[in-house]
Structure 1
Amino acid sequence: MTLIREPEWLMSHLSEACLRVVDCQYDLSNGDKGRERYEMEHIPSAVFADIGTDLSADIREHGGRHPIPSKEMFVRFMQQAGIAQDTIIIAYDGGEGAFAARFLWLSQLYGYEHVYVLNGGLRAWKELGYPLSSDIPDYKRTDYWPEENNDILADYEEVKALSMGHGEGLLIDSREEARFKGLYEPIDTKCGHIPNARNMEWMGNLDDGHYLARVELASRFKSLVTDTPLIVYCGSGITACVNYIALKQAGYKEVKVYAGSFSDWISYDENPVKID
């Protein structure tokens, strides 16, 4: 089963009533930029999901820089978008991959089953000359309330145990190698990584915004035992979701996301960080 759809597939199904397209364009340096881009142009019929307000909760003492929204908050958004039990959902971003991946993982976490990311995002769509729109759709609200799937969410205690060498599984740090090694840190207040984590950069799963083929992803992760429980994290729980998708595409069954990620880990003063 794939978590990815190609632009050609979306174009051929765009007019179907059971389909909902979700625009996740975002700019981490400018929280308003994503909505501005959406309002200027988006795939026809797409609704907008804001990473900062729809796909994240308010920052607290713990939970990281992009805490996940509550189930109630997320389901309200999905209901307003007219999403029901059988709706096929295609999420895209500008072509970076991470923002659409965050939406997919959150959707699966809260029980939505038919969710995919658009391979290559809006950039790939535009390169094929497919239509764009500035119209803002208004869908009939649904009352669908799914059953959540906590099997893909790693809690703090699980991460703590693995950092100490206890328990079964492997921590995967999705950030770039220099941040993992603690050579520099542009965002968070501490450098380094969670002890016992292995570094596998999220960008290594993509080629110009497109996911590598299954066989290439399987080769990339060949050092990981297929049935090993895996927990992926990044700085704040966004780019780790690209590793989540890539690992699932490669055939790994037990993959969780540490939602608060490194920014949550360092919010506990007693937690050690390792610098290589």
Structure 2
Amino acid sequence: MKFVKEQDWVLNHLNENNIRIIDCRYSLAEPEKGKKDYLIGHVPGAVFFDVEQDLSAPVGDHGGRHPLPDTAEFVRKLEAAGIGDDTTVIAYDSGEGQYAARFWWLLQYLGHEQAYVLDGGYSGWIVGDNPITKDIPNFEKAVFHVNFRSELMADVEEVREAVKKRDKILIDSREEKRFLGIEEPIDKKAGRIPGALNKPWMNGLQNNKYLPVEEQKQRFHDLDPESQIIVYCGSGITAVPNFLTLKEAGFKKVKLYVGSFSDWISYEENNIL
């Protein structure tokens, strides 16, 4: 797969100067757990990035539950981790897929194409009996230049137009119960954006590993590959595995609605089904 690295590849490149490993472990139920787990043990050379503190901005009136981080601040953190223009970056989480994918998408959006996710995550790394460490690495500060790829992101105005004109495909990446409005454990309102299709993000993985490209193509066989696609979820994180697998399946025009449903419902005038 183009954006997914296997354990063996990472193991064989661990000690290379232009390789950087990013630990993105996180628990919605226990936000501090990721950092605690990192301190207990991590992939050698891995730098920890917290989903709330590093990969998101503070929550405001709009923008959803995980707004994009401030670009300048995020870039400073990347540079402090030794990530520069020529650095190959591999992100991992516990194995769920969405948190590593969040980091991957952020780098893609900033124009850094040499970004990947570790298939199987940390749980797969452990099962593979690969080395771990408690050592906290230090790297020489790098220089990271931003080249925004605006074609990867949709905002609320574009989604409103898509709902009105029905000229783009909206994909709701949440599980079916939330999509149908039967159950809503997190957000203040239940339902979905009008016109959206349901493609649960977790169906693109099995045992914490991404399904092969041909199986991803089968997941999306009912979609027009020439259409503009906008993926969303609750807060813009679990939609990213769908973004990644759509790209793997050959879809060229895919955008992430970063604010997602939690942003959509923050506007009283927006309809929900």
The answer for the alignment partner of 2:167 in structure 1 is: 168
The answer for the alignment partner of 1:86 in structure 2 is: 86
How many percent identity over aligned positions?
47
Measured against aligned partners, the alpha-carbon deviations of 1:140-165 in whole angstroms (never above 9, x if no partner) come to 1112222111110101111011122x
1:218 and 2:227 correspond = no
Q: Secondary structure of 2:160's partner?
A: helix
Measured against aligned partners, the alpha-carbon deviations of 1:30-85 in whole angstroms (never above 9, x if no partner) come to 11110000011100000001000000000000000111112212211111111111
Q: Secondary structure of 1:245's partner?
A: helix
Q: Which runs of 5+ in 2 are unaligned?
A: none
- What's the Cα RMSD here? 0.9
TM-score, normalised with respect to structure 1: 0.97
Q: Which amino acid aligns with 2:73?
A: M
The answer for the alignment partner of 1:158 in structure 2 is: 158
User: Cα offset for 1:232?
Assistant: 0.3
1:119 and 2:119 correspond = yes
Structure 1 runs of 4+ with >6 Å offset = none
The answer for the alignment partner of 1:245 in structure 2 is: 244
Q: Residues of 1 paired with 2:76 and 2:244: CA distance?
A: 24
TM-score, normalised with respect to structure 2: 0.98
The answer for the alignment partner of 1:234 in structure 2 is: 233
Q: Secondary structure of 2:21's partner?
A: strand
1:55 and 2:55 correspond = yes
Q: Which runs of 5+ in 1 are unaligned?
A: none
The 10-residue stretch of structure 1 (72-81 or 258-267) with the greater mean CA deviation from structure 2: 72-81
Paired residues in the alignment total 273
The answer for the alignment partner of 2:145 in structure 1 is: 145
The answer for the alignment partner of 2:258 in structure 1 is: 259
User: Cα offset for 1:10?
Assistant: 0.4
Measured against aligned partners, the alpha-carbon deviations of 1:227-265 in whole angstroms (never above 9, x if no partner) come to 111000000000000100110110101111000000000
Q: Which amino acid aligns with 1:111?
A: G
Q: Residues of 1 paired with 2:78 and 2:36: CA distance?
A: 21
Does the aligned pair in 1 maintain the 2:120–2:209 contact within 8 Å?
yes
Give runs of aligned pairs for residues 21-60 of structure 1, distance below 5 A: 21-60=21-60
1:272 and 2:255 correspond = no
Q: Which amino acid aligns with 2:270?
A: N
User: Cα offset for 1:168?
Assistant: 2.7
Q: Residues of 2 paired with 1:97 and 1:207: CA distance?
A: 10
Q: Residues of 2 paired with 1:74 and 1:253: CA distance?
A: 27
Q: Secondary structure of 1:231's partner?
A: strand
